[in-house]
Structure 1
Amino acid sequence: MNSDLPEYFFRVRDTGASVFKVDSSNRHRRLEMDQIAVVIMRTGEIRPQGDRTLTPEDRAAIKTWIADRTETLDWRRFDDIARAVDHMNLTAHWAQTQANDHQLESVTDALLMAMHDLRSVLVRKRAERLMGENDTK
């Protein structure tokens, strides 16, 4: 059982994670998790728990987790956007083929405002990119 368990467990929180060291080699053969640190993802800060001093191995494992977690969150954000495009297409199809007048009336203003806001941001960002390309030429 010991070889199947990771040395560290990361309990994900909204702001980062609580980091636990996993121990199953005690005399009662019980699984114990000792909290050793808290990670703040926004700043990358690693806060040792209590009076604990983190070993270089602890810090390396935590930094690896932060890098992996950042990659996962970035991928999820991009996937959410790709799904939003699908939802916009499904919404257009629904509005054209299935929605009744009452349903359309209840969502039209909110959809138009959200689409206008998104369009404004996308047009501005594209203009900024194009201006940047022209500056480098």
Structure 2
Amino acid sequence: MTELPEYYFRIRDNGAAVFRVTTENRQRRIEMDEIAVINIRNGNVKPHGEHVLSDEEQAVIADWMAERRAVLAERDIDDIHRAVDYLNLTTHWAQSRASDEDLDDVTDRLLLAMHDLRSVLVRKKADRVMAQAKTTENAEG
């Protein structure tokens, strides 16, 4: 049998519940004792009940949180790339297969969503261009 990890993280909204995994009992049953609840967004780590987190436990939790944030960031950018694909597929659908009723059903919502997205993207791009120009100006001046 493969050796079990010492800690188990049960994913939940905005974080995880952290368990210490043990099999050191007479029946060799797997026991999972909850030791903490963590919030990935704000970094809060709350020990469970009266448990005091050891330095090792804190380090394991910090490592898991860093890895989890990296996974979530990768998923975010992957979702955006998929959104670009969906926009292209939606364009093809609207041009080639959509009925008038289909278009009536989605046009206003799509136009508002695209307008909102475009406004944000243009503003953010302008902010980056201005910041870059200011950096270049300071470097030259």
- Give the alignment's TM-score, normalised by structure 1: 0.96
Q: Which amino acid aligns with 1:96?
A: Q
Q: Deviations over 1:33-74 (max 9, x none)?
A: 000001011211111111111111101100000000000111
What is the match of residue 79 of structure 1? 78
Secondary structure of 1:47's counterpart equals strand
Greater CA drift, 97-106 or 3-12: 3-12
State the alpha-carbon separation in 1 of the partners of residues 10 and 126 from structure 2: 42
Indicate whether 1:100 and 2:99 are aligned.
yes
Distance 1:135 1:66 in 2: 35
Letter in 2 for 1:115: M
Report the RMSD for the aligned CA atoms in angstroms: 0.8
CA distance in 2, matches of 1:28, 1:127: 65
Aligned twin of 2:56:
57
CA distance in structure 1 between the partners assigned to 2:35 and 2:43 by the alignment: 16
Distance 2:132 2:10 in 1: 43
Measured in 2, the distance between the counterparts of 1:79 and 1:15 equals 19
> How many angstroms apart in 2 are the aligned matches of 1:45 and 1:109?
41
Q: Normalization by structure 2: what TM-score?
A: 0.94
Aligned partner letter, 1:106:
D
Matches within 5 A, 1:1-137: 1=1, 3-137=2-136
| Partner secondary structure for residue 46 of structure 2 | strand
Opposite residue 110 of structure 2, the aligned amino acid is L
Q: What is the distance in 1 between the residues matched to 2:61 and 2:121?
A: 36
Matched-pair identity in %: 55
Shift of 1:132: 0.2
d(CA) in 2 for partners of 1:110, 1:59? 46
Structure 2 alignment gaps of length 5 or more: 137-141
